[in-house]
Amino acid sequence: MIIDLTDTTSSEIASALLRARRNAGSPAMGMVGTIVVVVDEASHHDAMKAANEAGREHPSRVLVAILRPGKGAPGLDAEVRVGEGIPGEAVLLRLHGELAKVPESVITPLLLPDSPVIVWWPGGGPRIPAEDPLGKLGRRRVTDAAATRRASVDYSARAEGYAPGDTDFAWTRLTPWRALMAAALDQYPTRVTGAEVSAARGNPSADLMAAWLQSRLKVPVEQRTSRGPGVTAVRLFTPSGPIALTRPDGAVATFSVPGQPDRPVALKRRTTSELLSEELRRLDPDDVYAKTLACMVERDSMPAEQKKVTETARKSEPVKASAAAKKVVAEKVADRKVVAQKAPAKKTAAKKTAATKTAAKKSATKKTAAKKVAGSKR
């Protein structure tokens, strides 16, 4: 059901939602939260589609706010959608004139009571999300650094103004990458001497990945430019060789660990709705993201030479590890030789013992036979 409202108010929109639910035969609200989407006219269709698809896992009320500030008269137009394949409710709001400067006055009365609010800016986001008028309403504030130009993302301001609940899709895209690299070090614990991240030029996820590795491993992390798409490779240099996760086609990755065969891993680039669904699953503060932002600011102030991995970390360490491994193997071989030398002596002693026992048995048998002969003669 679609209800168009022209020059309306928040109260009329709330009444229209109630009527739509009753007409659809579901007056009760089975929604878990409110998703506020702040978007422009050109991209509102894709944003609403992604929010509705995420709502299949988390039924929510979706409020899409299109801000049209200008010198015209203030006004509010709305489009209410219930049913029509929508798991929850969707309201498209167009705010004109001075009303566009105070969107919180329209959004606040439409929020579901006693439920979390997620604010999402598909087009990038404000400089400090927690200080935005709509951002103050949200328990979770989601931006997307990849949707805007790299130069316009002020990570220093994001780090200084970080508040619990801030996150970015550039960080969310790294979840499977971070999980695989952490699992590799759990299964193959070793010392990491350096790391390398390869990605398309200007990819914010690569910047966050490099900062995360540096903050957690305390080693230099070098960034390299590739043809993409997105992040194409992450390598950890260890004494036994590199631990590598490479994805040249954006779909299937190859997982390499020293001493083990390469394994294919499904690592496709996820859609916007999948990223939003992940953010809806957890609403607690992301402390790791906050530390990564701080490390990213630190990396921006570092000289380029300090970000490069030395050739010693790349190549000479495996040679040392190889020599140590050879020493261990030589010791094992020596131990085996000693065991082999002792084995014949043990076998000879065992044979002598067996021969002695056999002779004793034969002597006892002869004595018994002689006694029997003597007794028969008597």
Each residue's pLDDT tens digit, 201-257? 889 999 999 999 999 999 999 999 998 899 999 999 999 899 999 999 888 999 999
SS3 (DSSP) at 166: strand
SS3 (DSSP) at 121: coil
With cut-offs at 50, 70 and 90, classify the pLDDT of residue 294. Answer: very high
Which tokens is 141 given? Answer: 């504030």
Q: What percent of the chain lies above the pLDDT cut of 70? A: 79
With cut-offs at 50, 70 and 90, classify the pLDDT of residue 29. Answer: low
pLDDT at 18: 86
pLDDT at 341: 57
In the chain, where the domains are located: 2-168, 174-269+309-339
* Angle (nearest 5°) at CA 310 between 309 and 316: 125
Nearest alpha carbon to residue 203 among 175, 223, 230 = 230
pLDDT at 317: 43
Q: What are phi and psi of 33, to 5 degrees?
A: 180, -175
pLDDT at 131: 92
Question: Do the beta carbons of residue 65 and residue 92 sit within 8 Å?
Answer: no
Q: Of 165 and 20, which is predicted with more confidence?
A: 165
CB burial string 28-60: b at 16+ within 10 A, e below: ebebbbbbbbbbeeeebeebbebbbbbbebbbb
Which tokens is 334 given? Answer: 């020596």
Which tokens is 63 given? Answer: 């409020």
**Average pLDDT along the chain:** 83
pLDDT at 43: 86
- In whole angstroms, give the CA distance from residue 42 to residue 252: 32
With cut-offs at 50, 70 and 90, classify the pLDDT of residue 305. Answer: confident
Residues 6+ apart with CB under 8 A from 163: 129, 130, 141
pLDDT at 326: 46
Residues 6+ apart with CB under 8 A from 369: none
pTM of the complete model: 0.78
How far is it between the farthest Cα atoms of the chain? 146
Residues 6+ apart with CB under 8 A from 321: 239, 240
Q: HSE, CB side, 13 Å, CA atoms: give it for residue 133.
A: 12
Q: Of 303 and 246, which is predicted with more confidence?
A: 246
CB burial string 206-220: b at 16+ within 10 A, e below: bbbbbbbbbbbbebb
Q: What is the pLDDT of residues 92-115, one digit of tens each?
A: 999 999 999 999 999 999 999 889
pLDDT at 81: 87
